[in-house]
Amino acid sequence: MSAIRRLASRLLRGVARHSSSATQDWANAMLRELDFIEGDWAALFWALGGAAAIFRHSVPRGLRAWLEKRREQSRGLAKESIGKKAAGVTAGIVIVAGVTLLAFVLVRQLFYAFPAWDLGAMPWWVAMIVIPEIIFVVAAVALWRKRRSVATGILLSAIVLAVHFVVHAATHVH
């Protein structure tokens, strides 16, 4: 057997060995037909054509299945990731709402309990707006690395609260 015919035979044997079970019979049949091809170069071209046909038949199916599997995994991760981020942002908003409500209740109760209490140079809005805003910024910075979505919710709510206060003050202060 010449070197060219051995190369053709090895090529088809390798393709048969590494192909899927659905195409192994086909590759083995091509290998058996190789014995009936006259001429070494014709046998090599037969082996190359057979290998190409087997790859065209089997690789796209495997590749398609692999891509479909990856696509489904990424969709699942994306849905899970979006859900976790939304839950984190919502948790941040709830935290801000709770702290803001607590600040309003605390300041109101202090004024009710101590009607003669004079805040002096500190106006009421410092206790109700500035101090909670500082708490929100500190909390967002502390949570940024490990709980970025919660920190984002806190920052978004803090910004909305600050803008609300500025608009309220601009429209009601003469």
Mean pLDDT of the chain: 80
Instruction: Give domain limits for the chain.
Output: 3-67, 80-172
Distance of alpha carbon 36 from alpha carbon 5, whole angstroms:
12
Tokens 């088809």: give the residue.
12
Instruction: Using alpha carbons, select from 137, 133, 123, 140 the residue that is nearest to residue 163.
Output: 133
Residue type, 154: I
Supply φ then ψ for residue 120, to 5 degrees.
70, -125
CB neighbour burial string for 46-85, b if at least 16 within 10 angstroms, e if fewer: bbeebbeebeeebeeeeeeeeeeeeeeeeeeeeeeeeeee
Is the pLDDT confidence value at 21 over 60?
Answer: yes
Arithmetic mean of pLDDT, 25-51:
86
51-99: pLDDT as tens digits: 888 877 776 666 677 777 777 777 766 666 777 888 888 888 888 888 8
Instruction: Yes or no: say if 155 and 141 are a contact pair by the CB < 8 Å rule.
Output: no
Confidence band (pLDDT; 50, 70, 90) for 122? low
Is the pLDDT confidence value at 11 over 70?
Answer: yes
Confidence band (pLDDT; 50, 70, 90) for 148? confident
Output 74 or 120, whichever has higher pLDDT. Answer: 74
Distance of alpha carbon 24 from alpha carbon 121, whole angstroms:
89
Distance of alpha carbon 119 from alpha carbon 122, whole angstroms:
5
Instruction: Using alpha carbons, select from 132, 138, 129, 111 the residue that is nearest to residue 167.
Output: 129
Question: Of the given ranges (47-51, 87-91, 104-108), which has the lowest mean pLDDT?
Answer: 104-108
Instruction: Using alpha carbons, select from 157, 161, 165, 159 the residue that is nearest to residue 124.
Output: 165
